[in-house]
Amino acid sequence: MSYCTSRFQSIRRRTIEVRAGEVGMGGDNPIRVQSMTTSDTQDVAATVRQAIALAEVGCEIVRVTAPNVAAARCLREIRAEFSRAGFSRVPLVADIHFLPQAAMEAVEHVEKIRINPGNYADKKRFAVREYSDADYQLELERLHESFTPLVQRAKELGRCLRIGTNHGSLSDRIMNRYGDTPLGMVESALEFLRIAESHGFRQLVLSMKSSNPKVMIQAYRLLVERMDAEDMHYPLHLGVTEAGDGEDGRIKSAIGIGSLLLDGLGDTIRVSLTEDSVYEIPVAQAIAARAHSRWAVAARRDVERADRINPHQFSRRITAPIALAPSLSAGGSDVPRVLVRTTLAQWPTLAAAVNSPLLSDTPIEGALVRVDSTEDLARVRELRSRPATRGPELLALECGAALSVAALAPLAADDAGRLAFVHTFDASNPTPLTALAALAGPHGHTLAVATTSADVPALAEAISGQAGLRLVVTLADGAIPSSPGHAVGAYRALAEALASAHLLAPLWIRSVSAAALLADPSFLGRLLEAAMLAGPLLTDGLGDLLSIETESDPVRAAKLAYNVLQGAGVRISKTEFVACPSCGRTLFDLQSTTQRIRAQTGHLKGVKIAIMGCIVNGPGEMADADFGYVGGAPGKINLYVGKNCVQYNVPQADADARLIALIREHGRWVDPRPASA
């Protein structure tokens, strides 16, 4: 059975309802937004203040860490004070990692308990050993004994539980049998799920969190498929853990959470930012609103149709590489290329930006401009003829209806091999496409065809006689269906139609939604729209060119495109940071530390640095990080290379310099460019 109802529409997965106090999750309930306090839980007044601040900005479920029994006892007073402040209907969640005793205390006081199956009564010492089936069974029996009391008490008190797997904290037993994989994450959760079901307890929510959106997406999809196979229909809590701060954290969260919501998966979400928790709420609300606007609620049914994408494993769509310009190609093994929309009035400024060394790691590789008259074409010819205003390698021309193919011929001859003619295909009248292809082909130009999945067979027939045509395909504006359809589904259908027609043309993803801009014209709205369109496609292996045309400033649009590509893990243009969002376990100020380290190391393209407040998910969540900066004790930092701690208890005042020295020692340091470069 498939992991979702449809790959091409947003049809919500049906689940049972699970209640945390008076707040329902799953079933017919809306997506619930939640976050977490960051204070020391034993500072009751501070924790209550933070919980109130979260509830006042719309947080529907508030999580509080309970790292030990003493902290868990404080939850009683926190719950009472929070209720007295007028928030008796907002449930509290105790976050438990290592101690079953803390969970047993916490369940007495709050409505929901989150346990991490990799840490809860399990071992994580990165030991390598073979587990026989008998050994494995003994471990499961031990888990059953440890977890059963919590399940039984939760059942008696009417509490719910979240089984929250973290990619970075899988147990040795899981790691040795399944590896550091989405399958290992799923199996870790299912072991605890089966124990709960053996006691008739079903007030359960599941999560599969990772700092890598690809891993997170694949793990949730696999979890749902495995649960479906066992007739389990539990709600899902979605989140990209350690997403970081600023634009990067928002993009990663939108890619991971948004991809799954568009698949119809997800019932409660948390956006984990290395910022004050109240700033997470509007981002989560905006992501949820986009899902609700596209979702349809339907009875569970078989998938209408399938595509060739393996949703559980990243594999890039196979395309034929084409030369877009003399030193710029797309498709094949090339990274996705970045184009920006501009105007003729903006062109001189854009041309100057293209030549700036400050954009060397995020180059504007192509520009899209609309031309409506012969005067516009003459201006383009003039600008492209002068080195100072030539602009990017590739120029894509979106031509108005008044311009004939003959009018384009002089420019096509002048700018050989550097143009793309953008044409919206009309299957009922293929003649204009044929004429444009005849112009583009002899001069080595690209033909960028906007079409629909339904018209791909006619497109294939129309270009069948054009040998050597450099073809790029994108989605026609009118091909994006209304709810429950969405642009991601339309692009997936287009890619499937291209495969059926044996067309290996590169795919151009264009973020152009005017309706989305009307609904939310803010920069956050544009960011989320771009990330929730391109992110799901890129993590599915689709997309060879990307343009974010909802951002009017071309340089800003290019930067946003590169950040989306980096968030999806398909093109790296700067340092990657894994930074946790802070909580009561954190041993230093994560926000200021992250910003300080970013200022010193943000120029290290391709280097991944993890900044972790404590050891709970520290070395594990840094599974694919190059270097780690982890709180080891108050005022002390442990430094890692990969998963290996190489320096213990470094005074925090010295830790930044020691981290940089460690990066130098491993040959990954380069000096930053002077600001005047």
Contacts of 546 (CB under 8 A, 6+ apart): 336, 337, 338, 339, 508, 509, 511, 534, 538, 561, 564, 565
> Which candidate, 594, 604, 576, places its Cα nearest to that of 667?
604
Residue 439 · residue 426 · CB < 8 Å: no
* pLDDT-based confidence at residue 621 (cuts at 50, 70, 90): low
- Specify the residue for token string 């209550």: 48
Q: What Å distances lie between residue 578 and 171, 587, 604, CA to CA?
A: 21, 16, 14
Confidence (pLDDT) at 126? 56
Task: Residue 126: count other Cβ atoms within 10 Å of its Cβ.
Answer: 11
Averaged pLDDT, 407-427: 92
Residue 221 · residue 263 · CB < 8 Å: yes
Confidence (pLDDT) at 671? 92
pTM across the whole model: 0.94
Give me the phi and psi of 304, to 5 degrees please: -65, -40
Exposure class string for 156-190: b at 16+ Cβ within 10 A, else e: eeebbbbbbbbbbbbbbbbbbebebbbbbbbbbbb
| Confidence check: pLDDT of 516 > 90 | no
Confidence (pLDDT) at 299? 45
**What is the spatial distance between Cα 511 and Cα 22, in angstroms, rounded to a whole number?**
39
| Confidence check: pLDDT of 358 > 90 | no
Contacts of 627 (CB under 8 A, 6+ apart): 607, 608, 609, 610, 639, 640, 641, 659, 662, 663, 666, 668
| Confidence check: pLDDT of 666 > 90 | yes
**What is the spatial distance between Cα 380 and Cα 70, in angstroms, rounded to a whole number?**
71
The three-class DSSP label of residue 414 is helix
CA dihedral 105, 109, 115, 119 (to 10 degrees): -30
**672 or 110, higher pLDDT:** 110
DSSP state of 212: S
Residue 78 · residue 112 · CB < 8 Å: no
* pLDDT-based confidence at residue 305 (cuts at 50, 70, 90): low
Q: Poorest-confidence range of 116-130, 368-382, 646-660?
A: 116-130
Confidence (pLDDT) at 544? 98
**What is the spatial distance between Cα 514 and Cα 537, in angstroms, rounded to a whole number?**
20
What does DSSP say about strands 545-548 and 296-297: parallel, antiparallel, or unpaired? unpaired
Q: What Å distances lie between residue 455 and 41, 401, 472, 493, CA to CA?
A: 59, 21, 15, 11
Going along the chain from its start, the domains and CATH numbers come out as 34-237 (3.20.20.20), 322-567 (3.20.20.20), 576-665 (3.30.413.10)
Pure H helices in 62-106: 69-82, 100-106
Q: What Å distances lie between residue 567 and 243, 286, 497, 529, CA to CA?
A: 9, 18, 27, 14
Based on its alpha-carbon atoms, the radius of gyration of the chain, rounded to whole angstroms, reads 27
> Which candidate, 647, 608, 604, places its Cα nearest to that of 625?
608
DSSP string of 35-69? Answer: EE--S-TT-HHHHHHHHHHHHHTT-SEEEEE--SH
**180 or 235, higher pLDDT:** 235
Q: Poorest-confidence range of 321-330, 588-597, 617-626?
A: 617-626
Q: How far is CA 54 from the centre of its chain?
A: 24
| Maximum C-alpha span of the chain | 81
